[in-house]
Amino acid sequence: MITKLNELYGRQINLSEIDTALLTDPRLKHRPAIKRGHNQIECQRCGLKTSIQRAQLPNDQFYCPECINLGRMVSNCELGFVDEPNDFSPLEQPLTWTGQLTADQLACSNSIIDHFKKRQPHLLWAVTGAGKTEMLFPGIEWALQNNLRVAIASPRVDVCIELFPRIQAAFSHTPMILLHGRQTEKYQYSQLTICTTHQLLRFYRAFDILIIDEVDSFPYAQDEGLHYAAMNATKKSGTQLYLTATPSEDLLRRVNNHQLSISYLPLRFHRHLLPQIKLHFAPFWRNKLAKHKLPNRLIQMVRDKVAKQQRFLLFVPHVRDLKPISEIVAMRLDQHVKLMTVHSEDEHRLEKVAAMRAGELDFLVTTTILERGVTFPGIDVIVLGADEEIFSTAALVQIAGRVGRKQDRPFGDVDFVIHSNAKNVAGAIGQIAHMNRLGAVKIKNG
């Protein structure tokens, strides 16, 4: 239940969830929850349209089935909101981070500030490990100094959870909040918000600056409702910044059509090139798996890493693969080896990721849920079945990008175990080679 007016600043909340004492406040405005057309309804929270037949309720009202996980939107309900007043206490020097940007990072950072000032949408295309988060700091500082409201949104809960303490440390005097579907913390009005893109559905013309990290990632890239939510959460006078290491064709099309400006950084912050992919052919490995076996090449690879105390991630194509593969691998290792499986619907997913990050596990067997946005120091990666369709070229590039991210270990092994050659694998090898060619030029030119 909403009991404070500032909890409605730039948010859209069903009137039934707002304390009756606030309903008579003249600053509270109303919007319809559902708009009805001739043969379809349009949800005002997610923007998606649904046929009358699918949306109709027994009482002759209509509901949106698309965003029902955030609470049911019904045609006889209204959304309450209060215009964003930017009611913040100004800070002269909100940035408490004391690090230094490289010359390449600084050029991208200055471009970000310039486009924030002009309220122009912008894309930062930087390789994995380039230091995208640190490049944001000066731009966020400028926004906070100018009393603007800022949000950083990502499609992945894991990314938000990893990002939040870094932003907290960099802006230690700025009120901020972390929002995602698994938390229990009560909402508080804050100048700086870190959230999943799903949480943007709760906002309405709130943010002067909306930064969308991993903009090409599932589910945001494929979800029209989340794109609508992002636009809806941004003020009419505001703008958006997109971050990615693997831009979609749509983003690049917008760049080519001069609808979106771009900054490009093909080199990691430590100025080492991206680790290259090594291919290992294991024809018909799925036939072996059906007999509760795995290729000897894979088992030996795992054993060698464990023997060297080299921590790693083992990616598999599907959730159904996790249990049999982890069991077979575990049987071929010493009992003291610590491994776990993790996937997107795993109830203990966050705890397992935290355990891996803390060095409590030797390796994780995972699906693509850990393909991006999560950093484990000094790891290698193995991808079993990298040639299967579930692994897009972008996903494979992101997976490879988990390796060599730290200054003290800017290298590492990226091993793909495949049944046969495939376009997605060739595309990933080609993308990394292209980035490394551009990065090598930068290194050569100083």
pTM recorded for the entire structure? 0.91
| pLDDT value of residue 170 | 98
Kindly tell me the burial class for residue 347, based on how many C-beta atoms sit within 10 Å of its own C-beta (0-12, 13-18, 19 or more). Answer: exposed
**Contact between residue 274 and residue 268 where contact means Cβ atoms under 8 Å apart:** yes
**Domain residue spans in the chain?**
5-81, 103-265, 277-444
How high does pLDDT run on average in the chain? 94
| pLDDT value of residue 437 | 95
Quick one: 277-444 is in which CATH superfamily? P-loop containing nucleotide triphosphate hydrolases (3.40.50.300)
Which residue, 420, 395, 414, is CA-closest to 221? 395
Q: Which residues contact 396 (CB under 8 A, 6 or more apart)?
A: 277, 383, 386, 416, 424, 425, 427, 428
Span 16-46, pLDDT tens digits: 999 999 999 999 999 999 999 889 999 999 9
Fold match, 103-265 / 277-444: yes
Span 382-421, pLDDT tens digits: 999 999 999 999 999 999 999 999 999 999 999 999 999 9
d(CA 161, CA 350): 9
Domain 103-265: state its class. alpha beta
Span 86-102, pLDDT tens digits: 999 888 899 999 999 99
Other C-beta atoms closer than 10 Å to the C-beta of 208 total: 21
Confidence of residue 289 (pLDDT cuts 50, 70, 90): very high
Return the residue matching tokens 């649904």: 50
d(CA 356, CA 312): 9
pLDDT of 70 higher than 90: no
